[in-house]
Structure 1
Amino acid sequence: MQTITITGGHTLQGTIRPAAAKNSVLPLLAATLLCAGPCCLQNAPELSDVDTSLALLQAVGAKAVRHGPDLCTLPADVRDLCGEIPPHLAGAMRSSVFYLAPLLCRTGMVRLPLPGGCRLGPRPVDIHLAGLAAMGAKVELEGEAVTLRRFGPLQGTDFTLRLPSVGATMTLLMAACCAMGTTVLRGAACEPEVCDLVGFLRACGAQITGEGTPVLVIQGRRALGGVRYTPLPDRIAAATYAAAAAAAGGQVTVAGCAPRYYHAFLTFLQDCGVEVRPGESGVEVARDPARKLHGGQHLYANGWPAFATDTAPLAAAVLLTADSPSEIYDHLFANRFACAAGFAAMGACCRAEGRRLWIAGGADLHGARVQAPDLRGGAALLIAALAAQGVTELCDPGHIRRGYADLPAELNSLGAHCSVQRGKIPERERTTG
């Protein structure tokens, strides 16, 4: 088991550039199964979820490898593809759900054990399944797995999502590209990552209109070829670096990610008293550590263009030392603030009540031994540790590697003091083989 040790009290200086967005790269990798030519995704981050996706592609019979910073796939013959997704890969990440549509379209059948990932509360796949059923798929629920079959090609449909789910919008986009006729998706998600998937599919030959709006129109049965594609930069990683500068103090330039991608978070930082100087493709974030941040914030995390749910724990870390109370409500996930226990161990007065986190502010943070409960909560605890006096030990940080290639090293490049220790595996956790 790993532990990240953070010595707080060091301001940050320098320039940092996020890699391609995790939340784009994962569905794009699944979408390459639909392509009749080779695909290359450029500047892809080295994340554990990306590694899992590559392993999943290989497990179902596709060819996918990393060449330096790029991910490359070769077209798979349908005779080599298998619709059975291994349980250990499905359980490792929520994004295994993106393989439902491509494998159903290519093989006629797909079986997916219920996907895993961070424990953020109920994250149903019913919208994915309802949309695919509307296109003609037969859905069979069996205990901890779902099986989909088609008898003949999927059919275009006019389907309204009951809520703007990013994942379901992406699943139905991929399925609609292979369906006969026209599909209209209403109530679709408008996030930049959805627009990025549309851009990728269109570059491969798909005919799609309406990205960035709640209504998408897809003309199906277009032959999809290969493409060399650069996914958009990771706006959540960019927000993480900006939050670190706000919490620790100093001056950091986040380059290569347009401020419009995380405008709501940058506006929040400005409201807290952080200097935010946006440019065309980057932003400079500065804060004098001797000056208190402003509290009194009431944040509501929801779908685009609202305050992003993945940035809610990062905002909480910034607000722990602010001059007055704040609160954050997450409309999307019921257990977003599992990091509150770690904040409290570091001396913060905060309370999670369902979807709401209440933060008293004014904390004198100190080092403590805490545990990363999930991806963004773990990153938030690391950010809080930068602002704390003394040494913090962040235990079991494996979740963080799902969204950041090496967050401690990235922050160290800006002047943070983080180190990673690898402890012995307890006897009860060892496996033979």
Structure 2
Amino acid sequence: MEIIEVRGGRTLSGSITPPAAKNSVLPILAATLLCGGPCRLRGVPRLSDVDTSLALLSAVGARAGWCGRDILTSPVPLLRGDVPPELAGAMRSSVFYLAPLLVRVGQVRLPVPGGCRLGPRPVDIHLDGLAAMGARVEIASDAVVLRRSGRLHGADFTLRLPSVGATETLLMAASCAEGTTVLRGVACEPEIEDLAGFLSACGARITGAGTPVIVIRGRAGGLDGGSYTPLPDRIAASTYGAAVAAAGGDITIRRCRPAHFGTFLDFLRATGCEVRTGANAVRIRRDPSMPLKGGQELFACAFPGFATDAAPLAAAVLLTADGPSRVYDGLFQNRFACAAGFAALGADVCAEGRELKIAGSAELTGTVVSAPDLRGGAALVVAGLAASGKTCVLDEGHIRRGYQSLPAELASLGAACRTA
């Protein structure tokens, strides 16, 4: 159990650089299994989910490890298709190993994936798309088994909803399939473009990534190796923005891509923060003597809409705003498990299904709260910055899944935040 201790009442200042995006790194690590040459991923943060990914790669017979801040992988002739249950259960992103292992081994058995308890997160779109490419699918009570005879083949497949994970799974499968695959109704998130960028650097032939239709011409000889730098983490950047909005101050987020979290920056502007964007930087200022503006109506949905991972962070900002607000998550049923922690801090909130109602004008007082999941835990840390006294966030490992050291990052900006 980790305890993050936050003392409110201190404004933030300085500059900070977000790390490589967790939501890019994890599928790219799985995609290295498709490569017949060595791969190098630059500037990877040391997250617990990355550690789990490396353990999973090792468990199926791959070679991967750290070299300073980079991860190096080396090709191996034979892999195993069984994903250990303890690793599959540790993170949702284990689903990314379905396609690479099916391509390389010919069959794969994946126990039910784990991760944050955000509600039902079905993998039916992954399976339907792989079946359209020639995979045979068997679903047991505790695992999914896929088999193929011969190579996977191209298909014209329409996703029933723009699932990020399914889009990434099918991108990986199609890159090494026979013939051309057309994926329609796909997710358009920046991390989709990033995975396509890595696959293309390794020889894949992909057009349309970042749009609703992606065309992939399968490469019969498989992919090569390559060196790649994942994009900056837009959710980490949003976290820093939420922190200065909650605490007040003046910070600059450097080496980021403002367009990737533009909806969050628009939200901060609506609350009264001053936001100035450049090509690769954002400056965010908030006078702590001026109240934040409430009356916000946020709807989290697929990109380019408001990011679901940023919804709890926005809610933390709105706790002390001068009027009521509502945040609705269109993707996950249990996104606002952090509401109990907000209430313990003194906020008047009500979580009803996918919606969080926030009365605003809260006088937050530090107390002991528990992180229910990754982003909800980060939101409680942000709320602690706006509270009087000491807030202790008890975390069973959720926050380290997405932040290398959130307390140290915030402390570098002047926050009184540390791991106790």
Q: TM-score, normalised by structure 1?
A: 0.96
- Give 1:224 shift: 1.1
Query: 2:187 and 2:300 mapped to 1: Cα distance?
Result: 15
Kept in 1, the 8 Å contact 2:249–2:287? The answer is yes
Per the alignment, residue 349 of structure 1 pairs with 348
Query: 1:199 and 1:369 mapped to 2: Cα distance?
Result: 43
- Give 1:142 shift: 1.1
Mark the runs of 5 or more structure 2 residues left unpaired by the alignment: none
Mark the runs of 5 or more structure 1 residues left unpaired by the alignment: 422-433
Q: Which amino acid aligns with 1:248?
A: A
Query: 2:229 and 2:279 mapped to 1: Cα distance?
Result: 18
User: Is residue 2:214 matched to residue 1:216?
Assistant: yes
Kept in 1, the 8 Å contact 2:329–2:335? The answer is yes
Query: 2:232 and 2:4 mapped to 1: Cα distance?
Result: 26
Q: What's the CA shift string for 1:239-291, capped at 9, x where partnerless?
A: 00011001000011111112101000000000000010111101001101110
Per the alignment, residue 246 of structure 2 pairs with 247
Query: 1:64 and 1:338 mapped to 2: Cα distance?
Result: 35
Kept in 2, the 8 Å contact 1:4–1:397? The answer is no
Query: 1:368 and 1:284 mapped to 2: Cα distance?
Result: 31
Kept in 2, the 8 Å contact 1:6–1:393? The answer is yes
- Give 1:418 shift: 1.6
Query: 1:401 and 1:321 mapped to 2: Cα distance?
Result: 27
User: Is residue 2:129 matched to residue 1:131?
Assistant: yes
Query: 1:359 and 1:116 mapped to 2: Cα distance?
Result: 30
Match of 2:196 among 198, 222, 226: 198
- Go from structure 1 to structure 2 and tell me whether the alpha carbon gap of 1:397 and 1:4 turns closer, same or farther (over 3 Å shift): farther
Secondary structure of the 2:71 match is strand
Query: 1:305 and 1:294 mapped to 2: Cα distance?
Result: 24
Per the alignment, residue 84 of structure 2 pairs with 86
Secondary structure of the 2:73 match is strand
User: Is residue 2:80 matched to residue 1:72?
Assistant: no
Query: 2:174 and 2:316 mapped to 1: Cα distance?
Result: 41
Per the alignment, residue 47 of structure 2 pairs with 47
User: Is residue 2:315 matched to residue 1:316?
Assistant: yes
Kept in 1, the 8 Å contact 2:377–2:395? The answer is no
Match of 2:98 among 87, 100, 103: 100
Per the alignment, residue 336 of structure 1 pairs with 335
Secondary structure of the 1:103 match is helix
Query: 1:187 and 1:277 mapped to 2: Cα distance?
Result: 33
User: Is residue 2:114 matched to residue 1:116?
Assistant: yes
Query: 1:184 and 1:292 mapped to 2: Cα distance?
Result: 50
Q: Which amino acid aligns with 1:264?
A: T
Secondary structure of the 1:168 match is helix
Query: Where do 4+ consecutive residues of structure 1 move more than 6 Å?
Result: none
Q: What's the CA shift string for 1:83-127, capped at 9, x where partnerless?
A: 000000000000000000000000001000010000000000000
Secondary structure of the 2:283 match is strand
Per the alignment, residue 258 of structure 2 pairs with 259
User: Is residue 2:21 matched to residue 1:21?
Assistant: yes
Kept in 2, the 8 Å contact 1:30–1:98? The answer is yes
Per the alignment, residue 225 of structure 2 pairs with 226
Q: What's the CA shift string for 1:296-323, capped at 9, x where partnerless?
A: 0000000000000000000000000000
Per the alignment, residue 427 of structure 1 pairs with none
Kept in 2, the 8 Å contact 1:378–1:397? The answer is no
- Give 1:227 shift: 0.7
Secondary structure of the 1:263 match is helix
Per the alignment, residue 181 of structure 2 pairs with 183
Q: Single out whichever of 1-10 and 364-373 deviates more from structure 2.
A: 1-10
Secondary structure of the 1:130 match is helix
Q: Which amino acid aligns with 2:291?
A: K
- Give 1:345 shift: 0.2
Kept in 2, the 8 Å contact 1:110–1:148? The answer is yes
Query: 1:125 and 1:256 mapped to 2: Cα distance?
Result: 34
Paired positions, count: 419
Kept in 2, the 8 Å contact 1:47–1:404? The answer is yes
User: Is residue 2:159 matched to residue 1:161?
Assistant: yes
Q: What's the CA shift string for 1:34-73, capped at 9, x where partnerless?
A: 0011000001011000000000000000000011110110
Per the alignment, residue 170 of structure 1 pairs with 168
- Give 1:379 shift: 0.2
Kept in 1, the 8 Å contact 2:205–2:219? The answer is no
Kept in 1, the 8 Å contact 2:110–2:144? The answer is yes
Kept in 1, the 8 Å contact 2:201–2:226? The answer is yes
Per the alignment, residue 35 of structure 2 pairs with 35
Q: What's the CA shift string for 1:359-392, capped at 9, x where partnerless?
A: 0000000001100000000000000000100011
- Give 1:396 shift: 2.1
Q: Which amino acid aligns with 2:100?
A: P
Secondary structure of the 1:49 match is helix
Q: Which amino acid aligns with 1:408?
A: P
Per the alignment, residue 360 of structure 2 pairs with 361
Query: 1:234 and 1:256 mapped to 2: Cα distance?
Result: 10
Per the alignment, residue 425 of structure 1 pairs with none
Q: What's the CA shift string for 1:158-199, capped at 9, x where partnerless?
A: 000000000000000000011111100000000000000111
Kept in 2, the 8 Å contact 1:182–1:217? The answer is yes
Query: 1:281 and 1:326 mapped to 2: Cα distance?
Result: 31
Q: Which amino acid aligns with 1:386?
A: L
Secondary structure of the 1:306 match is coil
Query: 1:267 and 1:140 mapped to 2: Cα distance?
Result: 45
Kept in 2, the 8 Å contact 1:84–1:112? The answer is yes
Secondary structure of the 1:221 match is coil
Identity of aligned residues (%): 68
Secondary structure of the 1:284 match is strand
- Go from structure 1 to structure 2 and tell me whether the alpha carbon gap of 1:397 and 1:272 turns closer, same or farther (over 3 Å shift): farther
Per the alignment, residue 148 of structure 1 pairs with 146
Query: 2:404 and 2:51 mapped to 1: Cα distance?
Result: 11
- Give 1:5 shift: 1.2
